[in-house]
Amino acid sequence: MNTKKAIERIHFGIKNIVAVQTSRLSPDINCQSRSPFDSFNLALHVDDDYQQVLKNRTILSGCFNNQTQIQWLEQVHSNKVVTISAVSDKPLIADAMVTRQKNIALAIMTADCLPILISDKHGKEVAAIHAGWRPLAANIIANTLNELSSPIADLQVWLGPCIGQAAFEIGDEVREAFLTIDAELVVCFKKYQQRWHADLTLIAQYLLQKQGVTNIHILDECTFQQTNKYYSYRRENKTGRMVSVIAINH
């Protein structure tokens, strides 16, 4: 199994920042979730084998130093942001996290929604956002940036893999929700066969730039179309979850 494809490093270019993105591929041929969660599912809430998920999470923990603990969320498609100074054994109910503490890894689970990771250029604080359309429409980006103490100009932002526009069919009410926020977001919607389709990445990019963020890196990969690499809830419904993680490592 190709470990580089299973767990990929995200390069912020900041010495003490460690960030990774997982795929559905397992880095360990002897340690895999079974269908329909095959192979490297990291979510406990999807009815995968509990012990297998814990084994997968242990593999993920190996990407960080021995002192680092991963903070998990119960993601509810809200605009709630939590700032943490210690890891809780129980998942926190929120859709974004901020920390200024070393050795706390912030984990976002996705299977079509957009993961967003943020660090300031000095590596003093980090954030992670679960950016489905509902959190985006509820201003989760602005809420998260407001929790950060760094100047906006110092922030580096990474947008991860999510469902692409061609695959993301939406109803009129979703489009209208965004146009109510800002009419300029009209460019993020196109019609395919008389149905509206939304570009989650472009929406997030616009909202970040509106807040003054300019240093944005995009991994332009579609979770729906790249069947062998990514889980996709819209494609499969019952499926696993990838994880995007960032930490101040030392």
pLDDT digits (tens, 9 = 90+) for 6-25: 899 999 999 999 999 999 99
- At 88, the pLDDT band (50, 70, 90 cuts) reads very high
- Average pLDDT (112-125) is 98
Per the model's pLDDT, the better-predicted residue between 203 and 3 turns out to be 203
- Cis amide prior to 36 (ω within 30 degrees): yes
* pLDDT exceeds cutoff 80 at 250: no
* pLDDT confidence of residue 166: 96
Bridge partners (DSSP) listed for residue 247: 18, 105
* pLDDT exceeds cutoff 90 at 3: no
Question: What is the extent of the structural domain holding 137?
Answer: 3-248
| Other CB atoms within 10 Å distance of the CB of residue 63 | 19
Q: At what angle do helices 140-147 and 200-210 cross, to 10 degrees?
A: 40
Largest CA distance in the chain: 53
| Other CB atoms within 10 Å distance of the CB of residue 78 | 17
56-72: pLDDT as tens digits: 999 999 999 999 999 99
Task: Assign 3-class secondary structure to the chain.
Answer: CCHHHHEEECCCCCCCEEEEEECCCCCCCCCCCCCCCCCCCCCCCCCCCHHHHHHHHHHHHCCCCCCCEEECEECCCCCCEEEECCCCCCCEECCEEEECCCCEEEEEEECCCEEEEEEECCCCCEEEEEECHHHHHCCHHHHHHHHCCCCHHHEEEEECCECCCCCCECCHHHHHHHHHHCHHHHHHEEEECCEEEECHHHHHHHHHHHCCCCEEEECCCECCCCCCCCCCHHHHCCCCCEEEEEEECC
CATH number at residue 83: 3.60.140.10
% residues pLDDT > 90 (the chain): 94
The sign of the CA dihedral 101, 104, 105, 107 is negative
* pLDDT exceeds cutoff 50 at 1: no
% residues pLDDT > 70 (the chain): 98
Tracing tokens 């929790």 back to the chain, one arrives at 147
- Cis amide prior to 39 (ω within 30 degrees): yes
Lowest mean pLDDT among 94-98, 117-121, 154-158, 192-196: 192-196
- Average pLDDT (1-8) is 65
Comparing CA positions, the residue from 207, 199, 131, 130 lying closest to residue 163 is: 199
* pLDDT confidence of residue 116: 99
- Average pLDDT (47-62) is 96
Number of domains in the chain: 1
* pLDDT exceeds cutoff 80 at 5: no
137-159: pLDDT as tens digits: 999 999 999 999 999 999 999 99
Quote the mean pLDDT of the chain: 96
180-234: pLDDT as tens digits: 999 999 999 999 989 999 999 999 999 999 999 999 999 999 999 999 999 999 9
Residues 17 and 22: their CA atoms lie apart, in Å, by 17
* pLDDT confidence of residue 30: 80
Tracing tokens 């100047």 back to the chain, one arrives at 151
* pLDDT confidence of residue 2: 42
